[in-house]
């Protein structure tokens, strides 16, 4: 039988950092009953796997799960692989584009591995809500929907705002909070954790549990963590995040970059220290307190030894001005324009800013200051560049860059081509292939469903894409050796890479690879596949389902904003056709026109 701490001691630990508990007295009663009977509380928190990596913002909930776990209660890390397919409408001003099973399953696998950096794997139950939601029949779904009214659903702030402004609300969006509530029924949750933005969904769980004859769960909400800027919530889309899978040195340095005021909020939400302990840390010098925090957070995800090394590296490099022991190689196309190479290496946000940094004396090459934007001659060997006080990188030539130089000297005797194909039942498209010739001529072929005919589209690949494809093919020896990884991962389809020229043909089949060049090449072709698939969907809707055009354009814009379109020129002709057809929906045409304006020009 578990041994539990006194109730008030448990309450104090659980209330630390919490935004709200509904209701504290109910939680006290459950804890009292748990202590009397020796029965642990059932505690859950759900995460929809809509992105592959977790950041510190996600760990605010994980940390509170850990607190329940530390106190002897049973926790469930719930992966919303089913609800992720619906799309959480929370905070949305429009319908969220639906995800497909492929990325949901792939992201779910990464979540599994990442959460155990904080939670005890031996005492953590990992569940997928498709276990019960996926098996509900139509009658059960209707029964669930009958337990709540449309009027009550429209009380939700984001639904109310969209309804009043005339923005469409799809019926399936009402299913999301109901599905999340049913998770609590299936798990018989005593407590559910969530961010403050999830309050409506969590409270709905209480009501649905009562409807199914269960005691209503206690709701514990946690604040949304501000990102490095101290203003907006931590998010990859804002670039103000700290990923828990990032190296310890990166985590340490990013924590050290936050303001002194934000530091205390991070202490409260991202550590196990009690409020009295945190008050004691305020007697330290702010720099020492922040180093302690950075070392604690880095140690949580990489171990104490790595955190100490990260602290030492920060003190040596950032505070002492020394070069780091390990300097990252960054591949760029060698030239005589240092500003362009700094921008390409992401050491400056733009060429203009790179030029300003160079002229101000903030840049050195191999330890020598450089204030000239245009070098006396193009770089021909790797060089260590320092920008500012502590940003280092070793610039090395890309294979693509070397190929470009070689192409200027040697005429190509043949027109080699690289082919990629992927087939995956249930995916959209079920099959596609991309063939890219060295001269840029390319063909996209796809079958939307297994029984559909193949559709072929010719396009001209951009030079940057062509160079990247053939550079990676060269690194991989034109696919003359195995690419398949032995790692056990979620199945994401059968893939093939092939190389052909005038003299030979080589190819390799695989389902998953960990070879960097092969993984990068696969990701590039998958993004080209997204362009081709979007074009097929758009053409189909233009011909057979015109009312769906606006929703499809919203999804395409989301693909563009999510950097999922690998070759926009494959999609551009269809968008131009949409813009030019005055018989189609004006809203869809406007979206297409705006998107075309953002596409790079060949």
Q: In 3D, which of 178, 184, 187, 192 has the Cα closest to residue 143?
A: 178
Pick the residue with more confidence: 88 or 339? 339
Average pLDDT, the chain: 83
CA distance 86 to 175: 8
Residues 6+ apart with CB under 8 A from 535: 457, 570, 571, 573, 574
The pLDDT, as a whole number, for residue 315 is 84
Task: Provide the sign of the torsion angle of the four alpha carbons 469, 470, 475, 481, taken in this order.
Answer: positive
222 membership: H or E segment, kind and range: strand 218-222
Q: In 3D, which of 361, 255, 355, 347 has the Cα closest to residue 300?
A: 255
Binned at pLDDT 50, 70 and 90, residue 101 comes out as low
- For 322-347, what is the mean pLDDT? 78
CA distance 402 to 336: 14
Give the CA distances from residue 529 to residues 422, 463, 557, 568, in Å, rounded to whole numbers and listed in that order. Answer: 9, 18, 16, 11
The pLDDT, as a whole number, for residue 83 is 80
Whether pLDDT at 595 is above 70: yes
User: What are the pLDDT digits (tens) for 465-518?
Assistant: 999 999 999 998 888 889 998 877 777 788 989 888 877 788 888 988 999 999
DSSP 559-590: HHHTT--S-HHHHHHHHHHHHH-TTS-HHHHH
Tokens 């399953």 sit at which residue? 105
Pick the residue with more confidence: 513 or 86? 513
Show the tokens assigned to 65.
């799960």
CA distance 452 to 433: 15
The pLDDT, as a whole number, for residue 413 is 37
The pLDDT, as a whole number, for residue 237 is 67
* Phi-psi domain of 117 (left: phi exceeds 0; alpha: psi -120 through 50; beta: other): alpha
Q: Which of 405-409, 531-535, 546-550 has the highest mean pLDDT?
A: 531-535
pTM of the complete model: 0.55
Whether pLDDT at 24 is above 60: yes
3-state helix vs strand vs coil in the chain, percent to 5? 50, 15, 35
Exposed, middle or buried, 172 (CB in 10 Å: 0-12/13-18/19+)? Answer: middle
Whether pLDDT at 548 is above 70: yes
The pLDDT, as a whole number, for residue 21 is 94
User: What are the pLDDT digits (tens) for 352-399?
Assistant: 888 888 998 889 888 788 999 988 887 767 788 888 776 778 887 665
User: What are the pLDDT digits (tens) for 122-138?
Assistant: 898 988 888 898 888 89
The pLDDT, as a whole number, for residue 407 is 44
The pLDDT, as a whole number, for residue 221 is 93
The pLDDT, as a whole number, for residue 87 is 65
Assess contact for 419 and 496: CB atoms under 8 A: yes
The pLDDT, as a whole number, for residue 102 is 66
CA distance 169 to 94: 7
Whether pLDDT at 402 is above 70: no
Assess contact for 471 and 398: CB atoms under 8 A: yes
Pick the residue with more confidence: 520 or 99? 520
Q: In 3D, which of 183, 157, 198, 235 has the Cα closest to residue 20?
A: 198
What is the distance, to the nearest Å, from the Cα of residue 151 to the centroid of all Cα atoms in its chain?
Answer: 34
Assess contact for 289 and 281: CB atoms under 8 A: yes
Q: Give the gyration radius of the chain's Cα atoms.
A: 27
User: What are the pLDDT digits (tens) for 36-71?
Assistant: 999 999 999 988 776 666 889 989 999 999 999 999
CA distance 554 to 43: 37
The 3-state secondary structure of 498-565 reads: EEECCCCEEEEEECCCCCHHHHHHHHHHHHHHHHHHHHHHHHHHHHHCHHHHHHHHHHHHHHHHCCCC
Assess contact for 225 and 263: CB atoms under 8 A: no
Pairing of strands 363-365, 329-332: unpaired
């Amino acid at each position: 039988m578990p041994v539990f701490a006194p109730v008030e001691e448990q309450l104090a630990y659980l209330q630390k950092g919490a935004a709200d508990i509904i209701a504290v007295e109910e939680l006290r009663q459950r804890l009292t009953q748990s202590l009397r009977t020796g029965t642990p509380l059932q505690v859950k928190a759900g995460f929809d796997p809509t992105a592959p990596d977790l950041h510190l913002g996600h760990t605010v909930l994980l940390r509170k799960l850990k607190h329940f776990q530390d106190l002897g209660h049973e926790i469930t890390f719930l992966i919303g692989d089913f609800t992720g397919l619906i799309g959480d409408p929370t905070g949305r001003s429009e319908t969220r584009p639906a995800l497909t099973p492929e990325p949901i399953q792939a992201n779910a696998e990464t979540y599994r591995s990442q959460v155990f950096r904080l939670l005890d794997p031996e005492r953590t139950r990992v569940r997928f809500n498709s276990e019960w939601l996926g098996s509900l029949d139509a009658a059960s779904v209707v029964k669930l929907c009958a337990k709540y009214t449309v009027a009550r659903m429209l009380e939700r702030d984001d639904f109310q705002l969209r309804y009043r402004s005339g923005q469409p609300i799809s019926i399936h969006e009402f299913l999301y909070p109901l599905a999340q509530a049913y998770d609590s029924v299936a798990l018989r949750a005593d407590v559910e954790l969530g961010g403050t933005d999830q309050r409506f969904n969590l409270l709905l769980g209480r009501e649905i549990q009562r409807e199914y004859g269960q005691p209503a769960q206690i709701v514990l909400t946690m604040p949304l963590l501000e990102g490095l800027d101290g203003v907006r919530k931590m998010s990859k889309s804002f670039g103000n995040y700290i990923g828990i899978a990032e190296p310890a040195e990166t985590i340490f340095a990013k924590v050290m970059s936050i303001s002194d005021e934000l530091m205390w909020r991070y202490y409260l939400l991202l550590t196990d220290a009690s409020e009295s302990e945190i008050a004691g840390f305020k007697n330290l010098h702010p720099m020492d307190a922040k180093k302690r925090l950075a070392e604690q957070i880095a140690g949580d995800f990489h171990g104490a030894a790595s955190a100490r090394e990260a602290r030492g590296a920060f003190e040596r490099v950032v505070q002492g001005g020394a070069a780091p022991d390990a300097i990252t190689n960054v591949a760029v196309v060698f030239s005589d324009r240092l500003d362009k190479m700094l921008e390409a290496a992401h050491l400056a946000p733009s060429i203009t800013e790179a030029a300003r940094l160079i002229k101000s004396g903030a840049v050195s090459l191999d330890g020598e200051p450089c204030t000239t934007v245009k070098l006396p001659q193009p770089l021909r060997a790797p060089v260590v560049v320092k920008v500012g006080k502590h940003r280092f990188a070793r610039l090395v030539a890309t294979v693509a860059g070397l190929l470009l130089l070689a192409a200027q000297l040697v005429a190509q005797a043949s027109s080699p081509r690289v082919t990629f194909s992927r087939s995956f039942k249930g995916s959209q498209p079920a099959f596609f292939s991309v063939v890219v010739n060295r001269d840029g001529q390319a063909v996209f072929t796809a079958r939307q469903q297994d029984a559909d005919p193949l559709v072929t589209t010719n396009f001209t690949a951009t030079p940057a894409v062509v160079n990247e494809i053939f550079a990676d093919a060269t690194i991989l020896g034109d696919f003359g050796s195995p690419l398949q990884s032995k790692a056990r991962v979620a199945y994401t389809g059968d893939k093939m890479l092939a190389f052909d020229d005038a003299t030979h043909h080589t190819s390799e089949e695989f389902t998953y690879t960990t070879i960097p060049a092969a993984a990068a090449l696969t990701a590039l072709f998958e993004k080209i596949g997204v362009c081709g698939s979007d074009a097929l969907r758009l053409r189909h809707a233009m011909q057979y389902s015109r009312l769906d055009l606006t929703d499809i354009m919203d999804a395409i814009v989301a693909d563009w904003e999510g950097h999922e379109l690998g070759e926009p020129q494959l999609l551009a002709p269809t968008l131009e056709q949409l813009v030019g057809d005055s018989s189609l929906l004006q809203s869809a045409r406007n979206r297409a026109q705006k998107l075309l304006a953002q596409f790079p020009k060949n």
